[in-house]
Amino acid sequence: MPSIIISSISASKGKSALAAAIISRLRHDGVPVTSAADTSDLFATDDGVQMVAAGAIDPSASSVSVIEGSSGDPSYDTDLAEKLDANVILLAGLDEDVKSAATEYGERLSAVVLNKVPRYRDVYADRAVATLNDDGLPCLGWLPEDRRLAANTVDSLMDHLEGELAFEVNTTSELVDNVLIGGLVLDWGPFYFRSQDNTCVVVRAGRPDVQISALQSETTRAMVLTGGEKPIDYVFYEARTKRIPLIVVDGDTNATMDALDGLASEGFSHPEKLLRVSQLLSERSMIDPILDLVALPATR
């Protein structure tokens, strides 16, 4: 069966995300998959997905092989593509030199995808896609930068801050896309806290007024109470009723925000991230052309 290698010019360009989306769609279609991608947590219970190292893939196997290639090492990926008779999809940033990189992959390069395009650069991205195609490079399109794909869970945020839950709650596996400071809120409270989706609010423990506004916003997924104090009873009751984790930390608000600046993305291991990248590929009409490449024998 065919093999597909997902490569990139540099690190953190979404190889695991794209691999997971391809595997998910293939499994939805009932196709057995051999995966050499960093997606094991997402498909651990799927008997139709066999996890192997890239070097252990059998090109004569009956399953489709989805391989997460290197970041910036085209010679490795092209050697592997020759061995497995695989197609290569190259992920690149909008400002990266795709033309130079493409020459390294030769005829094994079957598609280019521009990923993590910043907001307000969509016109430039459209022009870049058109230019690449005019130059003979098969660019399928571009995907926007998306906060959900870089989000962390409440659990990882709490572990990073070395905080403690004010009460036990089963929603700490949810993703947090944005962090808001609950300090001097000049706008009407709920309006301010609804300005971002899926938020964690960092607020001094001695500000129950701000805490209540955040809890009423419907977008708050967690709250960090700084200063080491427990919440007052009303805040405790409201948060527990809404199943919103309250995380108590010893540091002040400034120190806590500084600590969150050092929180790295936990990678692509959450089902909501898989759902989001699948939505993006569908919205951009890219998943079917990619699956066509997966089904296409790469023999030159």
pLDDT at residue number 182 = 84
Residue 297: the pLDDT is 61
pLDDT in the model for residue 33 = 93
In whole angstroms, what is the distance from residue 8 CA to residue 38 CA?
Answer: 14
Count how many residues are written for the chain.
Answer: 300
Mean pLDDT of 1-19: 93
40 part of a folded domain: yes
Domain of residue 219, residue span:
152-261
Q: What is the pLDDT of residue 192?
A: 82
Q: What is residue 62's predicted lDDT score, i.e. its pLDDT?
A: 80
End-to-end CA distance of the chain: 16
Pair (18, 113) in one structural domain: yes
Please indicate, yes or no, whether residues 104 and 122 belong to a single structural domain of this protein: yes
d(CA 138, CA 266): 31
- Domain assignment present for residue 116? The answer is yes
In a domain, 11, yes or no: yes
Residue 300 lies in a domain: no
The conformation of residue 231, written as its DSSP 8-state character, comes to P
Residue 120 has pLDDT above 70, yes or no: yes
d(CA 152, CA 199): 11
| Position 82 confidence tier, pLDDT thresholds 50, 70, 90 | very high
pLDDT of amino acid 44: 82
When divided into structural domains, the chain yields a total of 2
Residue 81 within any structural domain of the chain: yes
The fraction of the chain above a pLDDT of 70, given in percent, is: 96
On average, the pLDDT of the chain sits at 92
CATH number of the domain at 189, please.
3.40.1390.20
- Give yes or no for a contact between 298 and 110, defined as CB atoms under 8 angstroms apart: yes
Q: How far apart are CA 271 and CA 150, in angstroms?
A: 13
Residue 179 has pLDDT above 90, yes or no: yes
pLDDT tens, position by position, 210-254? 999 999 988 999 999 999 999 999 999 999 999 999 999 999 999
Give yes or no for residue 34 having a pLDDT over 70: yes
pLDDT over 60 at 300, yes or no: no
Q: Identify whether 251 is part of a domain.
A: yes
Q: What is the pTM of this model?
A: 0.90
Q: Record the tokens describing residue 22, joined without a space.
A: 């391809």
d(CA 197, CA 177): 7
149 with 277: CB under 8 angstroms? Answer: yes
280 has pLDDT over 70: yes
Residues 130, 277 share a domain: yes
Please report whether residue 197 resides in a domain. yes
Helical (H) or strand (E) element with 51: strand 49-51
**How far is residue 152 CA from its own chain's centroid?**
9
The CA distance from 142 to 1, in Å, is 28
Q: Which two tokens stand for residue 248?
A: 């108590």
Residue 32 and residue 139 share a domain: yes
Q: Which CATH number does the domain housing residue 273 bear?
A: 3.40.50.300
Within 13 Å and on the Cβ side, how many CA atoms surround 34?
20
Give the mean pLDDT of 134-141: 96
Do residues 44 and 102 share a domain?
yes
Is residue 299 predicted with pLDDT exceeding 60? no
Which single residue is written with the structure tokens 């870089």?
150
Q: State whether 123 and 252 are in the same domain.
A: no
